[in-house]
């Protein structure tokens, strides 16, 4: 969701900005632009469409020469994705040039105020307000202007500003939207995310909310909103740039699906020692775990599906009541959270605005917060009491796959840890579960070998208009994920239903030939799900059954059967999700969709 880059140094800024924007493409965008400080002041080139369109425009209209610049990919919120609304925006007769990620909530009142002062708006964006407001406060002191702007706006922002009479600086700030400063040698960088600067530096400052960065080519100074200087630790990036590249695969999604054995292994192996779960990052004592009232799990999208699965597993093993909330609902429903409750926050990016707000809500009500996060040092990670990192490495495809798998496994670990603290599972059962979890990477490898079969299956159903998913218990959680994966990347309408719920309305949508995925891996619920399979079959559905390899009872009612290796019921989701991801991938490919960057979607959803 919107990407920001900035460069100040001795090299030509344009290629560095374009290169950085390409690294942020995964965040999702519909227009792009750059501004470069050259001999004639700050010049802008921007366009709707992809970065390739921006490159084409630069080619046609002339490159922007200069060694200082900012760039932006915009994911439209206020105003259509067109050339005018694309960033950068100018403020105050061109004195200010600014890019922004986030939403200015009080932009209408600020716009009226600025119009009364004579400022003329050309775009429909909330961002233009920031540009004019900055100009309004600017009297030669950029820090003072930025501080005043920050105190006046409500909402979320990461912003970077070029000023006509300050050719040797970029000033930037953040609140509720990520922004990092890359530390170079006689050159410095700015970006929404680390991959954009990794080619040039591994050392960064990760800005916190309400902080300002003043970049010159040979210095970086950080301030709080009251302009007190702030000294931060340098964050050294240890992962490689290749981790964020396709490595021979056609798509990031395919690469990330294939990386799941490694991801699961890397997530589990440091936390399973001699048949025991050891989560060093968890500061809760056994006594505190015993006293947990309710576990509140909050997340969005696929991470919420992990939460749905986690609830089944935590309640089954640890017998601790769990509530799973969509973060966007939790934050506004005034949830009842008691001081001995805990809140588990699940997020790949660690920057999702709703999830972050839900975390803050739970914290403000006295709950201890544990986050399951992939992006190291992201805001959610930094604000949680404990953070358990999923070891998925950078996930670039917009549709999550490997981070989902890693999150699931952290949920299993937590459930086992809680059950053990409460004396509800013995050493032997813990050991069995740990051994089985350590087998998961190998079993996932086996499932990846089904690639050709799943490709053929997708070919058979590629022209479907609707696809339904049904399942019970943990199978329902995975049905939700299978359905989301399919619809978000292939644009086929899809719904997931708890198998027993379908007949309460939605079954009226089942027509002869409608594909219904029946996820039926939970042995204790198999017979019940079989009943639901028969119900849809009787109405002409094409049933694709996803079952454990030893089960054959659904075969006679299924048009297609996908078999997954058998493992304890509670671990099954780690396996069942894999064929559903691969199926969705081939369906999207078969329909000519942009698999890695589905329309309208963003990787990191930093607005609510
Ligand atoms: C779907 C997907 C999204 C994310 C959701 C939360 O494939 O990726 O539904 O799961 O936007 O994002 P994070 O996990 O970054 O908080």
pLDDT of the residue at 242: 67
Q: Which two tokens stand for residue 291?
A: 């006293």
Q: Does 400 sit in the ligand 1 pocket, CB within 6 Å?
A: yes
The average confidence (pLDDT) of the chain is 94
| Residue 303 Cα: closest atom of ligand 1 | 10
What are the catalytic residues? 2, 603
Percentage of residues of the chain with pLDDT beyond 90: 85
Q: Whose CA is nearest to atom 5 of ligand 1?
A: 301
**443 with 302: CB under 8 angstroms?**
no
Q: Does 379 sit in the ligand 1 pocket, CB within 6 Å?
A: no
pLDDT of the residue at 79: 86
Task: State the alpha helices, DSSP H only, in 1-90.
Answer: 13-23, 51-61
Q: Which two tokens stand for residue 158?
A: 């990461």
Q: Which two tokens stand for residue 89?
A: 């925006």
Pick from 511, 509, 475: nearest CA to 495: 509
Span from the CA of 380 to the centroid of ligand 1 (angstroms): 14
What are the b/e assignments for 468-480, b being 16+ CB within 10 Å?
bbbbbbbbbbbbb
The pLDDT-based confidence of 514 (bands split at 50, 70, 90) is very high
The pLDDT-based confidence of 112 (bands split at 50, 70, 90) is very high
Residues contacting 599, CB < 8 A, separation 6+: 491
Q: Which two tokens stand for residue 413?
A: 């670990």
Span from the CA of 426 to the centroid of ligand 1 (angstroms): 35
The pLDDT-based confidence of 607 (bands split at 50, 70, 90) is confident
Q: Does 584 sit in the ligand 1 pocket, CB within 6 Å?
A: no
Bigger pLDDT: 433 vs 195: 433
Span from the CA of 67 to the centroid of ligand 1 (angstroms): 36
Q: Does 162 sit in the ligand 1 pocket, CB within 6 Å?
A: no
Once rounded to an integer, what is the mean pLDDT over residues 508-517? 95
- Is the C-alpha dihedral spanning 602, 73, 106, 383 positive or negative? positive
* Alpha-carbon gap, residue 25 to 272, rounded angstroms: 36
Once rounded to an integer, what is the mean pLDDT over residues 397-410? 97
Span from the CA of 34 to the centroid of ligand 1 (angstroms): 28
Residues contacting 92, CB < 8 A, separation 6+: 119, 131, 132, 134, 135, 136, 138
Ranking 26-35, 299-308, 364-373, 446-455 by mean pLDDT, the lowest is 26-35
pLDDT of the residue at 602: 80
Residues contacting 192, CB < 8 A, separation 6+: 2, 3, 4, 5, 24, 27, 101, 158, 177, 178, 179, 180, 604
Q: Which among 192, 300, 355, 394 is the best mutation to test ligand 1's pocket, defined by most ligand atoms within 8 Å of the CB?
A: 300
For residue 127, the Cα-to-chain-centroid distance in whole angstroms is 23
Which SS3 state, helix, strand or coil, does residue 459 take? helix
pLDDT of the residue at 551: 84
pLDDT, tens only, 333-384: 999 999 899 999 999 999 999 999 999 999 999 999 999 999 888 899 999 9
* Alpha-carbon gap, residue 318 to 420, rounded angstroms: 8
Once rounded to an integer, what is the mean pLDDT over residues 121-128? 93
Span from the CA of 406 to the centroid of ligand 1 (angstroms): 13
Span from the CA of 304 to the centroid of ligand 1 (angstroms): 8
* Alpha-carbon gap, residue 221 to 228, rounded angstroms: 10
**321 with 347: CB under 8 angstroms?**
no
| Residue 349 Cα: closest atom of ligand 1 | 15
| Residue 352 Cα: closest atom of ligand 1 | 16
Once rounded to an integer, what is the mean pLDDT over residues 417-440? 97
Residue 271 region by backbone torsions, left for phi larger than 0, else alpha for psi between -120 and 50, else beta: alpha
Q: Does 519 sit in the ligand 1 pocket, CB within 6 Å?
A: no
Once rounded to an integer, what is the mean pLDDT over residues 165-175? 96
**345 with 372: CB under 8 angstroms?**
yes
Q: Over 80: is that where the pLDDT of 219 sits?
A: yes
| Stated length of the chain | 608
Once rounded to an integer, what is the mean pLDDT over residues 223-229? 98
Rounded to a whole number, what is the largest CA-CA distance in the chain? 78
**32 with 47: CB under 8 angstroms?**
yes
**156 with 178: CB under 8 angstroms?**
no
pLDDT, tens only, 236-283: 988 777 677 787 899 999 999 999 999 999 999 999 999 999 999 999
Q: Over 80: is that where the pLDDT of 604 sits?
A: no
| Residue 301 Cα: closest atom of ligand 1 | 9
* Alpha-carbon gap, residue 1 to 72, rounded angstroms: 11
């Amino acid at each position: 969701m919107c990407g920001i880059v900035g460069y100040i140094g001795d090299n030509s800024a344009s290629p560095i900005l374009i290169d950085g924007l390409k690294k942020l493409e995964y965040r999702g965008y519909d227009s792009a632009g750059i501004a470069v400080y050259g001999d004639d002041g700050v010049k802008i080139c921007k366009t709707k469409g992809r970065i390739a369109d921006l490159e084409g425009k630069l080619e046609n209209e002339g490159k922007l020469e200069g060694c200082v610049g900012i760039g932006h990919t915009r994911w439209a919120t206020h105003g259509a994705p067109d050339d005018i609304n694309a960033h950068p925006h100018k403020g105050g007769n061109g004195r200010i040039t600014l890019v922004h990620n986030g939403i200015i909530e009080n932009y209408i009142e600020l716009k009226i105020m600025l119009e009364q002062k004579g400022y003329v708006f050309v775009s429909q964006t909330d961002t233009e307000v920031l540009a004019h407001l900055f100009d309004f406060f600017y009297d030669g002191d950029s820090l003072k202007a930025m501080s005043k702007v920050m105190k006046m706006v409500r909402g979320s922002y990461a912003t970077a500003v070029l000023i006509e009479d300050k050719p040797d600086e970029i000033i930037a700030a953040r609140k509720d939207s990520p922004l990092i400063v890359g530390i170079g040698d006689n050159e410095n960088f700015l970006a929404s995310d680390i991959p954009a600067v990794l080619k040039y530096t591994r050392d960064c400052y990760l800005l916190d909310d309400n902080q300002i960065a003043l970049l010159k080519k040979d210095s970086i100074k950080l301030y709080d909103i009251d302009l007190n200087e702030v000294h931060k630790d340098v964050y050294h990036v240890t992962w490689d740039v290749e981790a964020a590249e396709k490595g021979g695969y056609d798509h990031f999604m395919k690469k990330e699906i294939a990386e799941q054995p490694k991801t699961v292994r890397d997530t589990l192996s440091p936390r399973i020692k001699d048949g025991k779960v050891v989560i060093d990052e968890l500061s809760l004592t056994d006594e505190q775990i015993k006293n947990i009232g309710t576990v509140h799990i909050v997340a969005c999208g696929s991470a919420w599906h992990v939460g749905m699965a986690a609830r089944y597993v935590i309640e089954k093993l640890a017998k601790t009541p769990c509530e799973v909330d969509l973060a966007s609902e939790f934050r506004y429903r005034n949830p009842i959270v008691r001081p001995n409750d805990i809140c588990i926050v699940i997020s790949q990016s660690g920057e999702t605005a709703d999830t972050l707000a839900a975390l803050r809500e739970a914290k403000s009500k006295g709950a201890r917060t544990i986050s399951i996060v992939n992006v190291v040092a992201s805001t959610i990670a930094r604000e949680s009491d404990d953070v358990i990192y999923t070891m998925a490495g950078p996930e670039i495809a917009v549709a999550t796959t490997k981070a989902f798998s890693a999150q699931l496994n952290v949920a299993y670990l937590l459930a086992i840890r809680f059950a053990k603290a409460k004396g509800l599972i013995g050493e032997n059962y813990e050991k069995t579960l740990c051994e089985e979890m350590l087998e998961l990477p190998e079993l996932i490898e086996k499932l990846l070998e089904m690639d050709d079969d799943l490709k053929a299956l997708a070919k058979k159903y590629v022209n479907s208009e609707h696809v339904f998913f049904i399942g019970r218990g943990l199978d329902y959680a995975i049905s939700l994920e299978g359905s989301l994966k399919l619809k978000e990347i292939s644009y086929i309408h899809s719904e997931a239903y708890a198998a027993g719920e379908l007949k309460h309305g939605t079954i009226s949508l089942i027509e002869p030939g409608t594909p219904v995925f029946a996820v039926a891996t939970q042995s204790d619920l198999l017979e019940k799900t079989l009943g639901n399979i028969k119900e849809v079959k009787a109405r002409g559905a094409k049933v694709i059954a996803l079952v454990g390899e030893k089960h054959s009872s659904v075969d006679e009612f299924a048009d297609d059967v996908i078999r997954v290796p058998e493992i304890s019921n509670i671990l099954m989701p780690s396996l069942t999700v894999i064929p559903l991801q691969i199926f969705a991938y081939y369906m999207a490919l078969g329909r000519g969709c942009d698999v890695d960057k589905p329309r309208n979607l963003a990787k990191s959803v930093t607005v609510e």
